[in-house]
Amino acid sequence: MLGLLEQIIKQAVERISSQILTYVPGLLAAIFILAVAWVAARAVRWLIIKIFKGITFDRFLKRSGLSSIIDTAGRLQTSQVVAKTVYWIILIAGILVALNSFNSDLSSRLTEMAVFLFPKLVAAAAIIVAGTWIGRYFGRTTLIWAVNEGMPWPRKLSAFVRALFTFGGIVAAADHLDFARDVFLAAFILVVGGIVLAASLALGLSGRESVRNYLHEGKGTAEENADDRPLWRHL
Amino acid sequence: MEGIDRADIVIGVPSYNNGRTIGHVIAAAQAGVEKYFPQFRAVIVNSDGGSTDGTREAVLGTGLNKEQLLLMTTPLFPVHRLSFPYHGIPGKGSAFRLIFQIARQLDARACVVVDSDLRSITPEWIDLLLRPILHTGFDFVGPYYHRHKYDGTITNSIVYPLTRALYGMRLRQPIGGDFGISRRLIGRYLTRNDWETDTARFGIDIWMSTIAIAEGYRVCQSFLGAKLHDAKDPGLHLSDMLHQVVGSVFRLMQEYEPVWTSSTGSQEVDLFGFRYGVGLDPIEVNTERMIAAFRRGCEELGEIWSAALSPETYAAIRRIGARNPGAQDFSLDDDLWSQVVLDFAVAYKKQPVERAHLLRSLTPLYLARIASFVRETRLLGSDEVDERIEHLCLAFEHKKPELIRRWNNKPEPASHQPRRVESTADSKLRMEV
């Protein structure tokens, strides 16, 4: 009985020892890789902040409106956000390499997936940022135009234009990632179709008025009344 | 152009749907040449932007009753009339470019450009715009008119005071539209590579005037009497014209920075012609709508104005916008207005917001200034209004050192007192409180 117990314990210890001997080198390698990745990530973050500070990168981003995508209040420095993003990318890459050092199926699959997805994720993120930036630009253009033209609800119009472009960016990104492609595409088509219908109705209704004026009064458009005249006369 | 290989004088008339008035302009130009320059070969060029109202037919078909001219000398050469559609960006600048190219091709000694919507042009205008170039050696002749106190508001409230403060020359109508230009200056214009900018549109007038002044060409002005013209096409929006003209001024400020930052004060520009008083068309202005547009801007454009204006200026603007809409003492005074324009100039250079957005967001502020000006000058005569404009010019000149400092990112001097950006109406309001 005691012999059997001793044998079982001995086998268990041997198994654990064998497993430890199998995994320890990998673990040590993983720890080393992680440490190197962490140091590299910190160094790169420091470097990015230093370099972009020197060439007034933040001012450029602020001017172009890209920084307001990240922080509308404008307190956040975009170069720091970029530096932090790069920091985490390096760190995650380090973790993946470290996992791969265990040489297991799971770690290999994880690494493969990450390597395969990474460029697509970056491209999708760039598409969303571009869509947001374009939305912001045209939103502001719409706001100023609506104010100068005396249109009702300028802010809502501006927000709508902004949302439309941002949504367009999200649809394109989803399409790029093959993520719920049909859902986003169908929603986008519905929104654009709705806009076209609304615009057609608006044009049709105003055109009907012009045609009526033309037929009844012999004028292409309604006679300018006092409120329609330009606010100024000449340069 | 067949059969015309050279000319001494080219008279250019840009047009777009000006069929109603262009016949008179062409006839006046032809009469001017035949009466005052009978010994010269002259060509009248219409550069048209695709008119559909028979403008070009009017140019080529207008008859001139020579029996009424009583010419002292028989013209030696016939005055040719040409009409071409121009290509490229639609706008007055593109039309001018074609006229200048023709003038260069014909090796013309001088070129005159006049607006096609003029109702008050006379043959004497051609004499007054050409003679300083042909006989006195000037390169650029600007117009000097009598205009209604509410006509030419962009000129009076921005372009004249700013150009005068920057370049130190009191050229009264830098965007008047009727100019005389020497061969030398035409050559210079055509060598420029910024024709595809706002210069192609309404920025052309200030572009021509600024280059002439800033590059040291001999500049003068001629008194032409009254300027009466058709109202601008209502389809052209104020915001477009304002942003093209002001955008050109700001863009040229960057190019000629060494010129304007080294000059101080301002000097008179030689004036030809005999000044006399004239009657003018009345102009009605709806200040309530202008103030409403300004208030709407205050409510909606805060994010742009706060980036473009200095904190003190923005606060002062907000205070005016927050005032009771029906207040009779609405005022955007000279001091604050000049500060607004100079803040926008600095913002144009530093670009805290997109330039197109910046320039277009100026419209409500400009309307506020015009409303304020109209209310303050409602009972004033033309001489008193001229004094008010002179006062505004001095406000711009007074602020020029500060503009230079901010333009060059230099720190505020320790002894510098805080700017007075509070409007007169603000002071009154505070006293009442």
One domain, residues B17 and B164: yes
Structural domain includes residue B120: yes
Span B189-220, pLDDT tens digits: 999 988 888 877 888 999 999 999 999 999 99
Structural domain span for residue B181: 9-272
Contact across the interface for A65 and B354, Cβ inside 8 Å: yes
Mutation pick from B149, B357, B374 vs chain A, by most beta carbons of A within 10 Å, is: B357
Q: Which residues contact A114 (CB under 8 A, 6 or more apart)?
A: A92, A96
Distance CA B9, CA B102 (A): 11
Radius of gyration of chain A (CA): 31
What distance in Å separates residue A25's CA from the closest CA in chain B?
55
Q: Which residues in chain A touch residue B352, judged by CB atoms under 8 angstroms apart?
A: 62-63
One domain, residues B183 and B310: no
Measured between CA atoms, the residue of chain A closest to residue B242 is A235
Q: Which domain-ending residue is among B244, B272, B300?
A: B272
Q: Which domain-ending residue is among B232, B249, B272?
A: B272
Partner A contacted by B408 (CB < 8 A): no
Is the pLDDT at B234 greater than 50? The verdict is no
Q: Which residues in chain B touch residue A63, judged by CB atoms under 8 angstroms apart?
A: 351-353
Contact across the interface for B245 and A226, Cβ inside 8 Å: no
Contact across the interface for B231 and A148, Cβ inside 8 Å: no
What distance in Å separates residue B219's CA from the closest CA in chain A?
21
Comparing A181 with B107, which gets the higher pLDDT? B107
Structural domain span for residue A78: 1-103
Contact across the interface for A63 and B232, Cβ inside 8 Å: no
One domain, residues B189 and B305: no
One domain, residues B257 and B310: no
Which pLDDT belongs to residue B424?
41
Q: Which of residues 231-270 of B touch A (CB under 8 A)?
A: 231-232, 234, 236-239, 241, 245
One domain, residues B410 and B387: yes
Contact across the interface for B237 and A234, Cβ inside 8 Å: no
Structural domain includes residue A41: yes
Q: Which residue has the tokens 């140019």?
A: B59
Structural domain includes residue B279: no
Structural domain includes residue A129: no
Span A88-140, pLDDT tens digits: 888 888 888 888 777 677 777 877 787 788 888 889 989 998 999 999 999 99
Q: What is the mean pLDDT of chain A?
A: 78
Structural domain includes residue B20: yes
Half-sphere exposure of residue A171: CA atoms within 13 angstroms, side-chain side: 17
Closest CA to B214 of B173, B155, B261: B261
One domain, residues B83 and B218: yes
Burial class (CB in 10 A: 0-12, 13-18, 19+), A130: middle
What distance in Å separates residue A207's CA from the closest CA in chain B?
17
Which pLDDT belongs to residue A187?
78
Tell me the ipTM for this assembly: 0.80
One domain, residues B149 and B190: yes
Contact across the interface for A234 and B364, Cβ inside 8 Å: no
What distance in Å separates residue A175's CA from the closest CA in chain B?
31
Give the one of A63, A143, A155 whose C-beta lies nearest to B352's C-beta: A63
Token duo for residue B302: 């805060």
Per-residue buried b or exposed e for B19-31, using 16+ beta carbons within 10 Å of the residue's own CB: bebbbbbbbbbbb
Closest CA to B152 of B221, B228, B203, B94: B228
One domain, residues B236 and B349: no
- What mean pLDDT do residues B252-268 have? 93
Comparing A190 with B317, which gets the higher pLDDT? B317
Give the one of A63, A144, A230 whose C-beta lies nearest to B301's C-beta: A144
Structural domain includes residue B265: yes
pTM: 0.78
Partner A contacted by B151 (CB < 8 A): yes
Structural domain includes residue B1: no
Structural domain includes residue A161: no
Give the number of domains in chain A.
Answer: 1
Distance CA B131, CA B109 (A): 11
User: Which domain CATH number covers B175?
Assistant: 3.90.550.10
Structural domain includes residue B415: yes
Structural domain includes residue A81: yes
Structural domain includes residue A185: no
CB B11 within 8 A of CB B110: no
Structural domain includes residue B228: yes
Structural domain includes residue B2: no
| A–B CB contacts, 8 A cutoff, strictly below | 91
Span A223-233, pLDDT tens digits: 444 444 444 44
One domain, residues B259 and B317: no
What distance in Å separates residue B58's CA from the closest CA in chain A?
23
Structural domain includes residue A200: no
Partner A contacted by B230 (CB < 8 A): no
Q: Which domain-ending residue is among B248, B272, B296?
A: B272
| DSSP-derived secondary structure for A193-230 | HHHHHHHHHHHHHHHHHHHHHHHHHS-SSPPP-GGGS-
Give the number of domains in chain B.
Answer: 2
One domain, residues B92 and B217: yes
Is the pLDDT at B106 greater than 90? The verdict is yes
Q: Which of A79-93, B39-53, B70-84, B122-136 has the highest mean pLDDT?
A: B122-136
One domain, residues B265 and B298: no
One domain, residues B61 and B127: yes
